[in-house]
Amino acid sequence: MKQITCYIDDKAVTVAEGTTLLNAARKAGIDIPNLCYDPRCAPIGACRLCLVEIEGQRGMQTSCTRIVEPDMRVATDTPKLNSQRKRTLELILSEHRFECGTCDTDGECRLQDYAYDFKVQENRIPHIESRVKTRNYTSGEKALIYDPTKCIRCGRCVAICAEVQGIETLTLRNRSGQVLVTTGFDVPLKESTCETCSQCISTCPTSALYERSAKFAGKLKDMNRVRTTCGYCGVGCQIDLNVHKKTGKIVRVTSEVGVVPNDGNLCVKGRFGMDFVGDSRRLTKPLIRTGERGDGAYREAEWDEALDLVASRLSKIKKEAGPDAIAGFSSARTTNEDNFVMQKFVRAAVGTNNVDHCARLCHSSTVAGLAKAFGSGAMTNSIAELSDTPLIFIIGSNTTECHPIIGINIRQAVQSGKSKLIVADPRRISIARSADIHMQQRSGSDVALINAMMHVILKEDLADRDFIASRTEGFEDLLPEIEGATPELAEKITSVPAETIRKAARMYATAESAAIIYSMGITQHACGTDNVLVLANLAMMTGNVGRRNAGVNPLRGQNNVQGACDMGALPNVYNGYQKVDDPKVQKKFETAWNTKLSNKPGLTVVEIMNGLESGKVRGLYVMGENPALSDPDTNHVLESLKKADFLVVQDIFMTETAELADVVLPAYSFAEKEGTFTNTERRVQRLRKAVTPPGEALEDWEIICRISLRMGYEMAYGNTEAIMKEIQSLTPSYGGITYKRIDKVGLQWPCPTEDHPGTPWLHEGTFARGLGKFHTAAYIPPREQADTAYPLVLTTGRQLEHWHTGTMTRKSVVLDDRVPHGVLELNPEDATRLGVADGEPVKVSSRRGEVTVPARVGDKTAPGTVFLVFHFKEHPANALTIAALDPVAKIPEFKACAVKVEKSS
Ligand code: SF4
């Protein structure tokens, strides 16, 4: 990009063409006063504080809207400018209730700072008291509060709602001195399109918009602000927990603009979902079961007694039935360090590879499929690239709800015209409203859809033949399958019109660069690995992989599911995906860990459940997972867990799984921990202790180490950094990752050495496996089809306000207020046929179970398909789902099973 030099306050500044004067000045360390500027939004020049004088030009100009020109000479600090700024501030303050002493933002308010800097007296211009009397759109609202008497009408909240969040909920009402922020028709926030992201609070330069729960809960001087990583989804937003110095409680969550990956933006969970940390129901003491399994009878125990019991019972099972009779569930919620120690414990102390975690249930088909095609099963590109990728193809990902910050990046890119968007999803999800093309395929028909797109690409000669010839193998083998996969055949299978498939194929193949985004709509099928493989085929066929803006991007669900996989919490690989049955790898780890290790791949999550049922597995150690709600066919899971000889659960709450345990061990939450998480773009980021853990809770890794010692295998670490040093030494892709290097900004693996800058996109020049490999996959229907007894197809998933089994989000006042229960989404055609009205309770049954839940009638789902989230134990979706497994990845088919819906009596 062309560089331009200008002179600001006689200082030469060189910046890229198109830079504003305000930003050029910032680059030179000159802070021009401003109130309405937020770098996340387009500048509007409304507050008139950032005025500058430009040599040779008349009047004063707003530096936030003025673009730098070569040799421009600019003054930012003259008596004339400062006099004008003072007058402007006086006008602003005449309408602003000037009560800094009792204001929550006292000490971090730019208006207050400028008033002081420019010696503004509040009484020079008569104070304007009244505003129009209208209903305040935040009345009765639990999340936030709008105080019009503190509003300076800068318009930042309205701009961020439209430009960053992309929803245009907020608007300015009235004119002149009567301007107010409100919603369309002043409807209460909860009844509007608001997603409760509260970017409006984050941009408000005063405290006109503020978290309701944080009012009078402490000012800046009362807080410790601790930078850490959000503990919910795989985006890995950087958050600042504002912890009151006296109470030790989290008062509010803020985020710094300019910091990757979220640039100061948060979603409703990150902003309002932290109540669980200080919840009185946290586990605080070890518990030992005293009654029958599941009857709720427990007694508190000292740590030594509880740990002795765990170690002795596991050792007994090992002695009687061998190490393979024991299994461990690691956790995508806990840190890399916890996961590393857990898998090491299972392998080195117990002696089995029976260790797995919930990645099995969400992205094991990604790990298997992308490893086969590319040699590495992770997101190929970076989140930041999605802001200017020419073509984004989202398939099977409800991005705005499940990965909200990535969702808003994509919405912004489309709104700004930088990106075109294709969405393929069985539901009319919110991101589909921004799409150029939405293909509403039947659940489980993705292979047919993608094969048909490839058919069009080949027939219309849109493939990248050079890329295929130089970078891939196996292309010829693919051709017979693709030849027969016509769009007309796909239309019959998918219900997407053939012409729409053709348009989508052309748009994808002819884009300058195209990135595929997918998630569990692709992976959670009995053909999940095939789904991933055909997406890899599509990308390779068009040369859309291995460079910026072009790739295949699985969005990982939980905060550390990528890290838990990287750390080897999988039954067939050690950390860094090093195979347990490779003799060289086995030797390497035997030497490092000074013990004999098994070379037999272990059991997966569902296989472990089956093993408990059959008696093959007798002991199970669950860290931070809740299979009683999250696994498919939960009635079977509950029966299996009840059959365990010994079940130990380590968690922060008494989960539905913990209620069945023999011993329950209290652990730290993410806000109490040091360590690292790895987000969906492979970025390893720091987690920092912000609050004191409750009662006698301990770190997950420390509990495991204490049990391991009792079982005769010593694992001694002074702190999490010592664990990371061991990870670094044994994991080639983490070889250059140290706490020091990631103190401010995380690093993306592969990062093999301490001088390596990390890798924003994968497979540049060569694939991790050498040549990319095409794999042939034919359409196979879901295992269970709709029939006369069960005539509808159920698909399941998540929603914006809740997370996983609701253990954390359902303890948030705001989130629970927003969404207190689930609903069954039902198309009007089906609802009419069944005689079900919107909001009416319905009974949903499958061959495995039944739930009762209110219906929501609408056209989000197509006729014949219903949708239910799995967050609510009152109507657990997984009581209905089927445990049919993908033969390669062993992932269950959460996304399609046959159900019937009846009016609930
Ligand atoms: Fe947390 Fe994900 Fe929301 Fe970011 S997008 S605040 S990581 S839940």
Whether residue 621 is predicted with pLDDT greater than 60 in this model: the reply is yes
Atom of ligand 1 nearest to the CA of 268: 3
H helices present in 59-189, as ranges: 79-94, 110-117, 156-163
Asked if residue 823 has its Cβ within 6 Å of ligand 1, the reply is no
Strand partners for 20: 67
Q: List pLDDT tens digits, range 275-333.
A: 999 999 999 999 999 999 988 899 999 999 999 999 999 999 999 999 999 999 999 99
Give, as one character, the DSSP assignment of residue 877: G
Atom of ligand 1 nearest to the CA of 406: 5
Instruction: Judge contact between 366 and 570, C-beta under 8 A.
Output: no
User: What pLDDT does residue 718 have?
Assistant: 95
Strand partners for 73: 7
Report which of 245, 161, 236 is spatially closest to residue 204, judged by C-alpha positions: 161
Distance CA 899, CA 784 (A): 10
User: What pLDDT does residue 174 have?
Assistant: 83
Token readout for 81 is: 């400018």
CA 96, 102, 104: angle at the middle one, nearest 5? 85
Give, as one character, the DSSP assignment of residue 550: B
Orientation angle between helical segments 528-541 and 446-459, nearest 10 degrees? 20
Asked if residue 260 has its Cβ within 6 Å of ligand 1, the reply is no
User: What pLDDT does residue 631 have?
Assistant: 82
Question: What would the mean pLDDT of 495-516 be, rounded to a whole number?
Answer: 98
How far is ligand 1, taken at its centre, from the CA of residue 227, in Å? 14
How far is ligand 1, taken at its centre, from the CA of residue 443, in Å? 27
How far is ligand 1, taken at its centre, from the CA of residue 473, in Å? 38
User: What pLDDT does residue 121 have?
Assistant: 76
User: What pLDDT does residue 133 have?
Assistant: 64
Residue nearest to atom 1 of ligand 1 (CA): 270
Token readout for 380 is: 């190929």
Asked if residue 707 has its Cβ within 6 Å of ligand 1, the reply is no
Residue written as tokens 């859309």?
A: 544
Residue written as tokens 């910091």?
A: 259
Whether residue 130 is predicted with pLDDT greater than 80 in this model: the reply is no
User: What pLDDT does residue 76 have?
Assistant: 97
pTM: 0.95
CA 50, 55, 56: angle at the middle one, nearest 5? 125
Instruction: Judge contact between 151 and 97, C-beta under 8 A.
Output: no
Q: List pLDDT tens digits, range 471-501.
A: 999 999 999 999 999 999 999 999 999 999 9
Whether residue 619 is predicted with pLDDT greater than 70 in this model: the reply is yes
Strand partners for 194: none
Token readout for 397 is: 């990902």
Tell me the torsion sign for CA atoms 482, 484, 486, 489: negative
Asked if residue 230 has its Cβ within 6 Å of ligand 1, the reply is yes
How far is ligand 1, taken at its centre, from the CA of residue 745, in Å? 17
Distance CA 373, CA 517 (A): 16
Strand partners for 439: 424
Asked if residue 269 has its Cβ within 6 Å of ligand 1, the reply is yes
Q: Of the ranges 4-13, 402-411, 698-707, 803-812, which one carries the lowest mean pLDDT score?
A: 803-812
In this prediction, residue 127 has a pLDDT band, given cuts at 50, 70 and 90, of low
pLDDT above 70: percentage of residues in the chain: 99
Asked if residue 661 has its Cβ within 6 Å of ligand 1, the reply is no
Residue nearest to atom 6 of ligand 1 (CA): 270
Direct distance between the N- and C-terminal alpha carbons of the chain, in angstroms, rounded to an integer = 68
Instruction: Judge contact between 571 and 353, C-beta under 8 A.
Output: yes
User: What pLDDT does residue 4 have?
Assistant: 95
Asked if residue 677 has its Cβ within 6 Å of ligand 1, the reply is no
Q: Dihedral of the CA atoms 636, 637, 642, 644 (nearest 10)? A: 120
User: What pLDDT does residue 32 have?
Assistant: 96
Question: What would the mean pLDDT of 125-136 be, rounded to a whole number?
Answer: 67
User: What pLDDT does residue 261 have?
Assistant: 97
How far is ligand 1, taken at its centre, from the CA of residue 334, in Å? 16
Backbone angles phi, psi at 606, to 5 degrees: -70, -35
Distance CA 388, CA 393 (A): 13
How far is ligand 1, taken at its centre, from the CA of residue 764, in Å? 29
Strand partners for 243: 224, 250
Strand partners for 838: none
User: Beta strand 578-579 with 298-300: parallel, antiparallel or unpaired?
Assistant: unpaired
DSSP 153-188: ---HHHHHHHHTS----EEEESSGGG-EEEEGGG--
Radius of gyration of the chain (CA): 28
Residue 902 parent element (H or E): strand 897-903
- Helix, strand counts (H, E) of the chain: 28, 37
Orientation angle between helical segments 336-344 and 700-710, nearest 10 degrees? 20
The verdict on whether omega for the bond into residue 732 sits within 30 degrees of 0, i.e. cis, is no
| SS3 (DSSP) at 705 | helix
Residue nearest to atom 3 of ligand 1 (CA): 267
How far is ligand 1, taken at its centre, from the CA of residue 336, in Å? 18
Pocket test for ligand 1, best of 252, 262, 274, 406 (most atoms within 8 A of CB): 262
Distance CA 541, CA 202 (A): 43
Pocket test for ligand 1, best of 202, 230, 265, 400 (most atoms within 8 A of CB): 230
In this prediction, residue 635 has a pLDDT band, given cuts at 50, 70 and 90, of confident
Buried/exposed 396-428: b ≥16 CB within 10 Å, e otherwise: bbbbbbbbbbbbbbbbbbbeeeebbbbbbbbbb
Q: List pLDDT tens digits, range 550-600.
A: 999 999 989 999 999 999 999 999 999 999 999 999 999 999 999 999 999
Q: List pLDDT tens digits, range 709-727.
A: 999 999 999 999 999 999 9
In this prediction, residue 362 has a pLDDT band, given cuts at 50, 70 and 90, of confident
Whether residue 865 is predicted with pLDDT greater than 80 in this model: the reply is yes
Asked if residue 266 has its Cβ within 6 Å of ligand 1, the reply is yes
Alpha-carbon separation of residue 374 from 46, 703, 767 (angstroms): 50, 38, 6
Residue nearest to atom 2 of ligand 1 (CA): 233
Question: What would the mean pLDDT of 764-769 be, rounded to a whole number?
Answer: 95
Distance CA 642, CA 621 (A): 14
DSSP 607-650: HHHHHHHHTS--EEEEES--HHHHSSSHHHHHHHHHT-SEEEEE
Backbone angles phi, psi at 811, to 5 degrees: -95, 5
Displacement of CA 366 from its chain's centroid (Å) = 17
As a whole number, the mean pLDDT across the chain is 95
Side chain identity, residue 400? T
| SS3 (DSSP) at 463 | coil
User: What pLDDT does residue 129 have?
Assistant: 63
Asked if residue 233 has its Cβ within 6 Å of ligand 1, the reply is yes
Pocket test for ligand 1, best of 165, 197, 402, 405 (most atoms within 8 A of CB): 405
User: What pLDDT does residue 131 have?
Assistant: 57
Number of other residues whose CB lies within 10 A of the CB of residue 862: 18
Q: Burial level of 101, CB count in 10 A (0-12/13-18/19+)?
A: exposed
Give, as one character, the DSSP assignment of residue 446: H
Distance CA 523, CA 885 (A): 11
pLDDT above 90: percentage of residues in the chain: 90
Beta strands in 221-281, from DSSP E residues, in sequence order: 223-229, 238-244, 250-254
Distance CA 708, CA 342 (A): 10
Distance CA 631, CA 634 (A): 6
Atom of ligand 1 nearest to the CA of 405: 5
